[in-house]
Amino acid sequence: MAAEPYNAFAIAQAHFDRVAEMLELDSGTRTLLRQPMREYAFSIPVRMQDGRSEVFRGFRVQYNDARGPAKGGIRFHPLETLDGIRALAAAMAWKCAVADIPLGGGKGGVVCDPHNLTPNELEGICRGWVRQVARDIGPYQDVPAPDVMTTSQHMLWMLDEYETLAGGRFPGAFTGKPVSMGGSLGRREATGFGLVFALREALLRLHVKPEATTAAVQGFGSVGQAAIAMYHELGGTVIAVGCWNQADQKSYTFRRVEGIDLDELVSMTDRFGDISKSRAEEAGYEVLPGEAWLEQDVDILIPAALENQITEQNVGRIPDCVRVVAEGANGPTTPEADRELNRRGVYIIPDILGNAGGVTCSYFEQVQSNTNYFWEKDEVIGKLNVKMTSAFLDVAEFAEKKKLSMRDAAYVIGVDRVARACRDRGWV
Ligand code: GLU
């Protein structure tokens, strides 16, 4: 294993082992489910703007497809590793099972920093990624989607390359496409909206009125922004947003104690969701250090950026008034921090439940693409609400019945459903 401070896949396997023990899985099933079924690692040569060619490293991991075609995003990030992708692919398998959609789990990535790439170079990476895996993906094998720093435009370039190679039109081969080109209405907002649907149910269980709550959010990409929009709709007040600043190569927290104005902050962001520090200051926001978002006197924390953000080192700075952590990101809480939050009785909506709205809407998009019949936005969001509410209730009721944390309950349900599919197919 690589000597990273947090090896995401080692953490995922340790967690899986604990869940396998709780489920008393036999050794064949454990061996099958504690590692990816298939994985691809490859080079993507790209002709850069200045005529040089640069080679990027790309990955696709198909963790398990017993319940349906592998499903999961493709991330563009300079610090991407194969182990990171493996961990995220495993999480996708459990997530799709918790959401109870007929899909398996996968994830892909490219080691690159889109901030420093031109649109042509990004298109080259997207098309090059597809050329390496075209034979092994597709509507009935593996369906990629956007993730960190990838967009609907990237999905369309990828789909175009796939369809060129496959010789036909296969709109269900990618999700997260532009709405004008076979995407689903509501897909962009789905992860954030879904998270807040789960949060609404959690607050109901805690007998807390959403309109009496405040929240701090980390991340101002599509997940963070949509979560804030839906939380505001429930009547809550977001007082702080933590956000990466590319120019300064560090994060800041933008605070306004009487409540942030979402549209105003959106108008100050660039295409990566970085908020302009000078414009925010001019508009009267306090600009605090990056981690300040988790020290605010709020009821709810919404980490909606990257993994490993709430750690053993900073968990002690989360004030006692925080009652709920709703995980919009994948893996934002390290296991040590998770234990501490559980000890303090914080109600955690774990990632594989909380952010399952994205892939659930991707499933709706696939259904629409495959049948070439598109739904109204209200219908999409209504169906998302139903799926998220029932996934939340499955997990919350199981957690209460078995006296498990919400995270353990979600993992037990997810792993159990995948294990059953493997057994039912006669694999183990
Ligand atoms: N990237 C999102 C996730 O982590 C969505 C994946 C998908 O839509 O396939 O859940």
pLDDT in tens, 380-405: 999 999 999 999 999 999 999 999 99
Distances (CA, A) of 316 to 255, 308, 310, 327, 341: 21, 15, 10, 18, 9
Q: What distance in Å separates the CA atoms of residue 91 and residue 66, rounded to the nearest whole number?
A: 15
- 219-222 contacts at long range (C-beta below 8 A, 24 or more positions apart): 219/243, 219/273, 219/303, 219/304, 219/305, 219/306, 219/328, 219/329, 220/265, 220/269, 220/273, 220/274, 220/275, 221/148, 221/272, 221/273, 221/304, 221/305, 222/188, 222/189, 222/191, 222/192, 222/273
Q: Which of ligand 1's atoms lies nearest the C-alpha of 144?
A: 9
Q: Confirm if 392 and 202 have CB atoms less than 8 A apart.
A: yes
Instruction: Check if 35-171 and 188-349 are the same fold.
Output: yes
Please calculate the CA angle 392-185-170 and round it to the nearest 5 degrees. Answer: 105
Residues 6+ apart with CB under 8 A from 17: 30, 34
The CB of 71 under 6 Å from ligand 1? The reply is yes
Using the structure block, give the residue that is written with the tokens 């009496």.
212
What is the pTM for the complete model shown?
Answer: 0.96
Q: What distance in Å separates the CA atoms of residue 199 and residue 238, rounded to the nearest whole number?
A: 14
Mean pLDDT confidence for 73-86: 97
Decide: residue 381, CB within 10 A, 0-12 exposed, 13-18 middle, 19+ buried. buried
User: Which tokens go with 412?
Assistant: 């037990």
Cα of 344 from ligand 1 centre, angstroms:
30
- Widest distance between CA atoms in the chain: 63
Which residue's CA lies nearest to atom 6 of ligand 1? 72
Please calculate the CA angle 79-418-311 and round it to the nearest 5 degrees. Answer: 35
Question: C-alpha dihedral over 33, 38, 42, 46, to 10 degrees?
Answer: -100
Q: What distance in Å separates the CA atoms of residue 310 and residue 327, rounded to the nearest whole number?
A: 11
Which residue's CA lies nearest to atom 8 of ligand 1? 359
The CB of 359 under 6 Å from ligand 1? The reply is yes
The CB of 358 under 6 Å from ligand 1? The reply is yes
pLDDT value of residue 1: 36
Mean pLDDT confidence for 50-77: 98
Q: Confirm if 374 and 305 have CB atoms less than 8 A apart.
A: no
CA 238 vs. chain centroid, Å, equals 21
pLDDT tens-digit readout, 138-170: 999 999 999 999 999 999 999 999 999 999 999
pLDDT value of residue 2: 39
pLDDT tens-digit readout, 346-371: 999 999 999 999 999 999 999 999 99
Fold held by 35-171: Rossmann fold (3.40.50)
The CB of 184 under 6 Å from ligand 1? The reply is no
Cα of 407 from ligand 1 centre, angstroms:
19
Q: Which of ligand 1's atoms lies nearest the C-alpha of 176?
A: 8
The CB of 213 under 6 Å from ligand 1? The reply is no
The CATH homologous superfamily of the domain defined by 188-349 = NAD(P)-binding Rossmann-like Domain (3.40.50.720)
pLDDT tens-digit readout, 167-185: 999 999 999 999 999 999 9
Q: What residue spans define the domains of the chain?
A: 35-171, 188-349
Residues 6+ apart with CB under 8 A from 397: none
Q: What distance in Å separates the CA atoms of residue 14 and residue 30, rounded to the nearest whole number?
A: 12
The CB of 362 under 6 Å from ligand 1? The reply is yes
pLDDT for residue 21 is more than 70: yes
Q: Which of ligand 1's atoms lies nearest the C-alpha of 359?
A: 8
Which residues sit opposite 246 in a β-bridge? none
Q: Which of ligand 1's atoms lies nearest the C-alpha of 148?
A: 1
Whether 107 is catalytic is: yes
User: Which tokens go with 288?
Assistant: 């605090």
Return the number of other C-beta atoms located less than 10 Å from residue 9's C-beta. 23
Cα of 99 from ligand 1 centre, angstroms:
12
Among 71, 95, 107, 177, which one carries the catalytic annotation? 107
The CB of 72 under 6 Å from ligand 1? The reply is yes
User: Which tokens go with 39?
Assistant: 């994985």
